[in-house]
Chain A
Amino acid sequence: VSIATVYSPIDPNHVGHDNRTITPTSEAPGHGEGGPASKQIIVSFGFWIFLLSDIVMFSAFFAAFQVLAGNSFSPPPNYDLNDLAIETGCLLFSSFLCGCAALCASRRSLLGTELFLFLAGILGAAFLALEVREFLGLIALHQGPADGAYYSAFFALVGCHGLHVTVGLLWLGTMMAQLIAKGFRQDVLRRLACFSLFWHALDIVWVAIFSLVYLMRYAP
């Protein structure tokens, strides 16, 4: 399949806003008023709304962290920024590979999709392993979540992100199995698109965690 057919000029980013798909008999005056949107748009849009709600949840944990970070009972720990750089690299590159998988899926290449998804999953797992190692190290130093409010807020915020990555890995594995079992069915493709959105959203949250939790720790 050539690039030209994949990136149609009317709909270069595959968002589905192709006016020709709207019911031709409609006399609607435009602005999305030509009747119900296509299933692809509905599913992606709904998932965006869900992601926004998820980010609101993170914002509550961020707020709690900011409130509790300044307390005098629990001095902030010393983070290993080298490990963090590797961790961050794993997560961001995993997202890049997830994007590659989406491109392969739009070319209907099963092998490529599976391969890139697998690699994205490996990097996600590596991220998690590094995070768990960091957590265990902190607990060993009596800087665990039960040792003070700063640590509570830290473990909850970073752990909540880690929990999302874990759920993402479970989803990713299920998607890979489903791709083999069901092929590039329309609903499978829609789910794959949602997974991509989810995986990228976790990057956005991680960038905020990296900046506000880890880097600000060393701010003058």
Chain B
Amino acid sequence: MFGRLTWQAIPWSEPIPLVAAGVVGLGIAAVIAWIFVKGYAPYIWREWITSVDHKRIGVMYCFLALIMLLRGFSDAAMMRSQQAVAFHAGGYLPPDHYDQIFSAHGTIMIFFVAMPFMVGLMNFVVPLQLGVRDVAFPTLNSVSFWLTAAGALLVNVSLVVGEFARTGWLPYPPLSELQYSPGVGVDYYLWSLQISGAGTLLSGVNLVTTILKMRAPGMSYTRMPVFCWTALASNLLIVAAFPILTAVMAMLLLDRYLGFHFFTNELGGNAMMFVNLIWAWGHPEVYILILPAFGVFSEVIATFSSKPLFGYRSMVAATMTICVLSFMVWLHHFFTMGAGADVNGFFGIMTMIIAVPTGVKIYNWLFTMYGGKVRFSAPMLWSIGFMVTFVIGGMTGVLMAVPPADFVLHNSLFLVAHFHNVVIGGVLFGAFAGYNYWFPKAFGFQLDEAWGKRAFWLWIVGFYVAFMPLYVLGLLGMTRRLQHFDRPEWYPWVLIAGGGACLITLGICAQVIQLAVSIRNRAVLSDLTGDPWDGRTLEWATASPPPSFNFAVLPNVTGEEPYWGMKQKARELAHLLTAEPSYEAISVPRNTATGVVTAFFAVFLGFAMIWRIYWLAGLGFIGIFAVFVAFAWRDRSEEDISAAEVQKLDQKNRLVRAAVLAERASS
């Protein structure tokens, strides 16, 4: 009746996950109770959970990422503290638990922090920058988000019901085969990622279509902001790479559930095929994450240097070059497979070549700052911190692209230091820059600047203290994923790395305080102009937060940096705004529970498959199909906002904007 699910699935003997889950569960229960007591539940259901507005969905993606960052970071803190006390000792985490922690840390940080943060920023910003009213498929967008959230939920359920994978964040066979991982840990991994991966793929299709087919009049390709270009490249990579992940995870599921022999040791299975296929997805994946971050930095650096981006076209060319080359380097993740000198040489050289367009970008950002009036606000600090940090990470990457060097460094902490150097210094700093930069657009008030700067300094110092020792440890021969060790020369470096993790903890605390303080002082920090940073792209041309239809009249784009152009023109003509346009009624898509109900059934489907409760899985599938039919049978998919209502909202925005322009023109 309940497949493999019994009361023994709950780890009664392990206090850490139980207590952690208890605290989190109480926290969630308290928040839900507060929502109901305060009477916010209908509002949250109507305006957020069932929303198909790309801005709301983008915000929810980022919120999910921030919450999961706390979970993923807790895992990291446990790993660092375990190693700090595990010199000649067993530490406090038994090996089977420690293995789950490093697997969950990687899985969560990549799939449920970095991905939703980037997808969230793209969702929020891209339609605004393109000057249009929504993404191509608004309801699909909601489905994508909720499927991602469903995957995140399943990963967290594994904390208390059953176990998580002990295989590392990529479940290499034969370790991940049923023979060596008989528990449900790998199944949790596979099903939660299949579900959230489907969401990511649909989101990629959605944004590619949006960028290629929905742009404001006059917004030609060479007038698109660089963030839109990087979003295009990133989503093209999602469309081209995520199906490979789906396929390779399906193969492993078939091995585990139906006794197939794709990757087994017996009957002709080939474990290295898994490694090849997963990295054929995995390497493009790192560019899926970093390219939008590059876009954020391009926007932030141009805005805060008060200059147009240096070398716009070379930036676009570099982005698209990276997009293509990212599919030609996957083998550098396993030079030690032994494919031979020619193959390793080819992939080593390709890896070095991909550093060239990245270098072009770094120089472009530097030249953008050169001669500019640079304002060192929080988003700009994250960007400068990125430039310094990412160059170091990039150089250690090129070092490891040399196959003989990789044979020495493979699987060592040097590698761990390298990819944290680029993922934290690149993706996460980019996410934080974007979060500080676009927060006022999303909510109408700025984030507290002082706490933002404190968070930055704690993070960046903490990062260097935590990860530079790992380079040294790697060169001293320490491999990754060690539950305990007994080499005295490693011990001081491990302790220093633990100290760095403490500083990062303080950085995260500073970010939480920043958010709390900003919400409390929102009246003081409020931004009525819609353009707090003197921005250059179209998202700053509308109110903060933007109305559901984004733009009362679609802007007519006549050049690069359209909003900067509009402001310049207004200054030259000395009359501040164009004549009031004629307003028309606007159709906006109606909110729908399709996304959240689909995800509800997807959770059941995934959970049932993990525990092999096949009748429940069948019900989950029928549920999903029923939701689609109900959606397809809707008679009204859009509702109109009347011209008078549009006019009322827009006139308010125009008045404020005229006052701001007058003030800036006179100063």
Contact yes or no, A53 B242, CB < 8 A: yes
Residues of A139-162 whose CB lies within 8 A of B: 145-153, 155-156, 160
A42/B217 in contact, CB under 8 A: no
Contact check, A68 vs B273: say whether CB atoms are below 8 A apart. Answer: yes
B381 CB to closest chain A CB, in angstroms?
Answer: 37
Task: Give chain B residues whose Cβ lies under 8 Å from the Cβ of A149.
Answer: 261-262, 264, 267-270
C-alpha spacing A52/B239, complex, angstroms = 8
Which of B137, B250, B266 sits near A46, CB closer than 8 Å?
A: B137
What chain B residues lie within 8 Å of A23 (beta carbons)?
217
Residue A86, interface by CB 8 Å: no
Question: Which of the candidate stretches A32-40, A104-112, A205-213 sits at the interface with the other chain?
Answer: A32-40
Indicate if the CB atoms of B205 and A46 lie closer than 8 Å. yes
Nearest Cβ in chain A — how far from B215, in angstroms?
7
Nearest opposing residue in chain B for A149, CB measure:
B268
Q: Judge whether B556 and A26 touch: CB under 8 Å.
A: yes
Known: A31-B220, A45-B212, A178-B633. A53 touches B201 (CB 8 A): yes
Known interface pairs A34-B217, A53-B201. Does A67 touch B270 (Cβ–Cβ under 8 Å)?
A: yes
Is A7 engaged at the interface, CB distance under 8 Å to the other chain?
no
Shortest Cβ gap from B190 to chain A (Å):
15
Q: Is B213 part of the contact surface with A, judged by Cβ < 8 Å?
A: yes
Chain A proximity of B262: nearest CB distance (Å): 6
Q: Is A215 an interface residue (CB 8 A)?
A: no
B136 cross-chain contacts in A, Cβ below 8 A: 42, 46
CB distance from A160 to the nearest CB of B (A): 8
Provide the bound-state CA to CA distance between A147 and B360, in Å.
Answer: 53
Please provide the chain B residues from 387 to 402 with a CB less than 8 Å away from any CB of chain A in the complex.
none
Q: Tally inter-chain residue pairs, CB-CB below 8 A.
A: 150
> Which of A69-77, A92-100, A121-129 binds B?
A69-77
Q: How far is the CB of B574 from chain A (nearest CB, A)?
A: 24
Of B241, B264, B270, B556, the residue contacting A27 (CB under 8 A) is B556
Chain B 201-213, CB-CB to A under 8 Å as 1, else 0, gives 1101110110011
* Alpha-carbon separation in the docked complex, A95 to B632 (Å): 24
| Interface assignment of A200: CB less than 8 Å from any CB of chain B | no
From B208, B268, B273, B625, residue with most partner A Cβ within 10 Å = B268
Q: Note all chain B residues with C-beta closer than 8 A to A35.
A: 215-217, 554
Chain B contacts for A49, CB-based, 8 A: 205, 208-209, 239
Chain B hits for A151, CB < 8 A: 261
Q: Is A156 touching B260 in the complex (CB atoms < 8 A)?
A: yes
Report if A56-B243 is in contact (Cβ < 8 Å); known contacts: A37-B214, A45-B209, A149-B270: yes
Q: 1/0 per position for B248-272, CB-CB distance to A under 8 A?
A: 1011001100111110101111100
Report B307-343 residues with CB < 8 Å from chain A CB.
Answer: none
Partner of A145, one of B242, B260, B554, B635: B260
Residues of B within 8 A of A132 (CB): none
On chain A, the residues within 8 Å of B246 by CB distance are 57
B556 touches A60 (CB 8 A): no
A23 to B553, CA, bound (A): 12
Chain B positions 187 through 205: 1 when the CB is less than 8 Å from some CB of chain A, otherwise 0? 0000000000000011011
The residue from B204, B240, B261 contacting A148, defined by CB atoms under 8 A apart = B261
Contact B209 A46 (CB under 8 A): yes
Q: Is the CB of B259 within 8 A of A145?
A: yes
Q: Which residue of B lies closest to A187 (CB)?
A: B637
* CB nearest neighbor in B for A37: B213
Tally of contact residues, B, Cβ under 8 A: 55
Q: Which residues of A contact B170 (CB under 8 A)?
A: none
Among B220, B247, B637, the one with the most A-chain Cβ atoms within 10 Å of its Cβ is: B247
If A35-B215, A45-B213 touch, whether A156 touches B262 (CB-CB below 8 Å) is yes
CA separation between A55 and B215, bound complex, in Å?
A: 28
Given contacts A57-B243, A64-B273, A67-B270, contact A42 B258 (CB under 8 A): no
- Contact present for B273 and A67 (CB under 8 Å): yes
A41 to B104, CA, bound (A): 42
Docked-complex contact B219 and A33, CB < 8 angstroms: yes
Closest chain B residue, CB of each to CB of A35 = B217
Determine chain A's interface SS by DSSP, over half rule: helix
| B613: chain A residues within 8 A (beta carbon) | none
In the assembled complex, A181 has its CB within 8 A of some CB on chain B = yes
B37 within 8 A of A: no
From B202, B208, B216, B268, contact of A150 by CB (8 A): B268
Most buried by B among A45, A56, A150: A56
Contact (A27, B218) CB under 8 Å given A152-B261, A181-B633? yes
- At the interface, yes or no: B244 with Cβ under 8 Å from chain A? yes
Given A49-B205, A64-B262, residue A174 in contact with residue B273 (CB < 8 A)? no
Q: How far is the CA of A33 from the CA of B211 in the complex (A)?
A: 11
**What separation, in Å, do the CA atoms of A142 and B537 have in the docked complex?**
64
A99 to B132, CA, bound (A): 34
State the CA gap A181–B634 with chains docked (Å).
11
**In the assembled complex, B646 has its CB within 8 A of some CB on chain A:** no
Q: Does A217 contact B (CB under 8 A)?
A: no
A9 at interface by CB-CB < 8 Å: no
Contact of A60 among B202, B219, B248 (CB under 8 A): B248
Complex: chain B residue closest to A185, CB-CB: B635
Query: With A31-B220, A35-B216, A174-B629 given, is the CB distance from A72 to B268 under 8 Å?
Result: yes
Contacts of A60 in B (CB 8 A): 243-244, 247-248, 277, 280
Contacts of A41 in B (CB 8 A): 213
Residue on A nearest B130 in the bound complex, by CB: A36
A19 to chain B, nearest CB (A): 13
Contact check, A156 vs B205: say whether CB atoms are below 8 A apart.
no
The chain B residue sitting closest to A51, CB to CB, is B205
The residue on A at minimum CB distance from B280 is: A60
Q: Does A184 contact B (CB under 8 A)?
A: no
Alpha-carbon gap, A52 to B240, bound state (A): 8
Q: Which residue of chain B is the closest to A49 with respect to CB atoms? A: B205
Contacts of B277 in A (CB 8 A): 60, 63-64
Given A36-B132, A146-B261, A149-B268, A174 contacting B632 (CB threshold 8 A): yes
Q: How far is the CA of A165 from the CA of B248 in the complex (A)?
A: 21
| A50 adjacent to chain B (CB < 8 Å) | yes
Contact B243 A145 (CB under 8 A): no
Q: Are B269 and A146 in contact (CB under 8 A)?
A: no
> A68 near B270 (CB under 8 angstroms)?
yes
List residues of chain A with CB within 8 A of the CB of B202.
50
Q: Is A182 an interface residue (CB 8 A)?
A: yes
The minimal Cβ–Cβ distance linking B207 to chain A, given in whole angstroms, is: 10
- The answer to whether A204 has its CB under 8 Å from any CB of chain B is no
Could you tell me the distance between the alpha carbons of A37 and B202 in the complex, rounded to whole angstroms? 20
Q: Chain B residues near A46 (CB, 8 Å)?
A: 136-137, 205-206, 208-209, 213
Closest to A67 in B: B273
- Judged by a CB distance under 8 angstroms, whether A136 is at the interface is no
Q: Does A191 contact B (CB under 8 A)?
A: yes
- Verify A74–B268 contact, CB threshold 8 A: yes
A33 touches B201 (CB 8 A): no
Closest residue of chain B to A38 (Cβ to Cβ) is B213
Cα–Cα distance between A36 and B267 once the two chains are bound (Å): 54
Query: In this complex, what residue of B is CB-closest to A50?
Result: B205
Contact of A36 with B215 at beta-carbon distance under 8 Å, contacts A49-B205, A56-B240 already known: yes
Q: How far is the CB of A163 from chain B (nearest CB, A)?
A: 10
A28: shortest Cβ distance to chain B, in Å? 4
| A residues less than 8 Å from B206 (CB atoms) | 46
Contacts A/B (CB < 8 Å), 20 sampled: A32-B213, A35-B217, A36-B132, A46-B136, A46-B209, A56-B239, A56-B240, A57-B243, A60-B248, A64-B277, A71-B270, A73-B267, A145-B254, A146-B260, A148-B268, A149-B262, A149-B269, A153-B262, A155-B260, A182-B633
7 more contacts with CB within 8 A, not counting A61-B251, A64-B247, A74-B268, are: A46-B213, A64-B251, A68-B270, A149-B269, A152-B269, A156-B250, A156-B260
In order of increasing CB-CB distance, the 4 nearest A-B pairs are A149-B268, A71-B268, A60-B247, A57-B243
